[in-house]
Structure 1
């Protein structure tokens, strides 16, 4: 009897040792406790708003308890690093924008590979961005801003939520299209940068419509243009970049959910299905449209393939202007 028990224990030990690191047996009752959804930026920005809307809908549609946790800093790398180091059990996830993919392109010592060190779970939406300006300045169009900036470049500075963020990439594109090299200052998320624009400490900012439009509509900042081919239904009075004097400035942001590397495939499938169901429900209710977001529902494999192509495209954009990681 003793030998039989020893044989069983030894066999189980060998079986466990043969499993790839991080690939634990999935829980059939997943999830049976709260899921931590890490947002790598300060509260109040576009990523944070969308994350909280999705968390709420996951509770309504699937009964999941999802706790949103803001872990800002280092262009999103603080929050991303926390998720990378977490157990790959599906209870710690990352909700971020395209910013996540650019860590190695904008940081000299990036703490992770944003694709290889994470599990792609679901891409959930995309949205145009908005260019806003301090209301303390007289310019009304991009053409007027560019004309003045060419005469007085030191007078104009851009705020950005983070290096590598979609707004940062759109700002790089703005400079290239306008023939300018205006300074770009990174912040710890959208909210603090937007506050400085409203105060006149920084003159310009590009970020998702859902994050900037409320203050533009309230008059705290001036909405100059949307970075899309046509005007936004949320703000039909704000022209496109082409209409405002800068043809070619068409940039969008997108949002996704990742987990640590090595998550069990069945948990990834469960999460992807739950998230897609919630996104479809939010779209049908019109809640995404109110945020200026187009819904996206993809498989994990489609999300991964999209990410690789997006990374290559934006890496080329940064190289074209000689951007150096900091």
Structure 2
């Protein structure tokens, strides 16, 4: 009798699972952004969420969960129910670098299901206006001449701006004093106010302040100039050849989320990226669209693993300490 009951229960679960996926979504979805509101990750997530809700037929809320280089926000998503109602937004820092820096309590690959690769942007080297340098070569000379290490804002240990700073140190030989914030939005505010010296920031975060004349830009970390800021030279042109870094973003869901739901989220995100209005908004921020053949969930999974293999050795060699 007990075996019969278990068999009936198993059959019921098998039937209910797909039915649940078919009726999803039935209430609002939350995208957890692991940084403060107003920063580049928050801006991209809100642009995408606004368009994705048209495809999914439900409101998509943005929840900013800050702290520990974004690892707290990612952990919030990892521990959520695998039902498609909690989505993790992140990037190279949160879903690659943090695994080499923090004792996370979760595995970035094993505990998350990839959904889609999102737009990326090169970093941009920017300083407060009080810095006298007018070119990257002059900036490097000025930084080297400081009696104490110049201050560099980051979104915390392991964030994209922190990784870029470490990479900058490796390439230039200049030691930086990192000042962590709960996001690059607050860090940028302090740069504008002259409280810190530089940020190796996401182009999408800094470009409007550069255009407004509130901070100074020296170079983008790519082999080609950014389309919406052609006046900013590349690092190769400006005097720091080879300092190439692109900060990519993506969406994930908790492990065990039904594949039907992952597929629906993937489709909604792709439709958003292909929407001309959304595309224009993202490109105005200096973001670059991912290749069409890299938009499937498995492509993001493979890319994440490749980036772990690339960046973890450098991060561990830098002996980054979490304060």
Please give the TM-score of this superposition, normalised by the length of structure 2.
0.91
Give the structure 1 partner of residue 200 of structure 2: 206
The residue that corresponds to 1:274 in the other structure is 268
Instruction: Tell me if the contact between 1:197 and 1:203 (Cα under 8 Å) persists in the aligned partners.
Output: yes
Select 1:304's aligned residue among 301, 304, 321.
301
CA contact (8 A) 1:170 1:249 kept: no
1:92 aligns with 2:86: yes
Q: Does 1:234 align with 2:201?
A: no
1:127 is matched with: 121
Q: What is aligned with 1:172?
A: 166
Give the aligned partner of residue 100 of structure 2: 105
1:138 counterpart = 2:132: yes
Asked whether the equivalents of residues 96 and 257 of structure 1 are also in contact (C-alpha less than 8 Å), the reply is yes
Counterpart CA distance in 1 for 2:308 and 2:55 is 32
CA positional deviation for 1:155: 4.9
Structure 1 position 159, deviation (Å): 0.8
Deviation at 1:192, TM superposition (A): 1.1
Superposition deviation, residue 282 in structure 1: 4.5
215-224 or 305-314, larger mean C-alpha shift? 215-224
In the alignment, does 2:298 pair up with 1:324?
A: no
- 8 A Cα contact 2:123 2:201, kept in partner: yes
Could you tell me which residue of structure 1 aligns to residue 70 of structure 2? 76
Q: Secondary structure at the residue paired with 2:22?
A: coil
2-side partners of 1:283 and 1:230: how far apart? Answer: 24
Distance 2:316 2:67 in 1: 24
82-91 vs 236-245, greater mean Cα deviation: 236-245
Moved more, 110-119 or 56-65: 56-65
Is residue 166–residue 252 contact of structure 1 (8 Å, CA) maintained in 2?
A: no
- Alpha-carbon deviations, 1:244-285, whole Å to 9, x = none? 221111111111001111111111112112211211224785
CA contact under 8 A between 1:77 and 1:111: conserved in structure 2? Answer: no
Q: Residue in 1 aligned with 2:6?
A: 10
- What do the CA deviations read for 1:169-189 (whole angstroms, capped 9, x no partner)? 221111111112212222110
Other-structure match for 2:58? 64
Structure 1 residues 276 and 141, CA gap change in structure 2 (3 angstroms): same
TM-score relative to the length of structure 1: 0.90
Distance 1:282 1:185 in 2: 38
Q: C-alpha root-mean-square deviation of aligned residues, in Å?
A: 2.2
Distance 1:155 1:168, change over 3 A: closer
Q: 1:7 to 1:219 in 2, by over 3 A?
A: same
Cα deviation, residue 300, structure 1 = 1.1
**1:195 aligns to 2:189 (yes or no):** yes
Can you give the 5+ residue segments of structure 1 that lack an aligned partner in the other structure? none
Q: Summarize the Cα distance change of 1:310–1:282 in structure 2 as closer, same or farther, 3 Å threshold.
A: farther
Which runs of 5 or more structure 2 residues have no equivalent in the other structure?
A: none
> Where in structure 2 are the equivalents of 1:211-290 lying within 5 Å?
211-282=205-276, 285-290=279-284
- The equivalent position to 2:141 in structure 1, one of 135, 144, 147, is 147
Q: CA deviation at 1:50?
A: 0.3
- 1:154, 1:93 → 2: CA distance? 42
Q: Residue 21 of structure 2 aligns to a residue in which SS? A: coil
Distance 1:84 1:290, change over 3 A: same
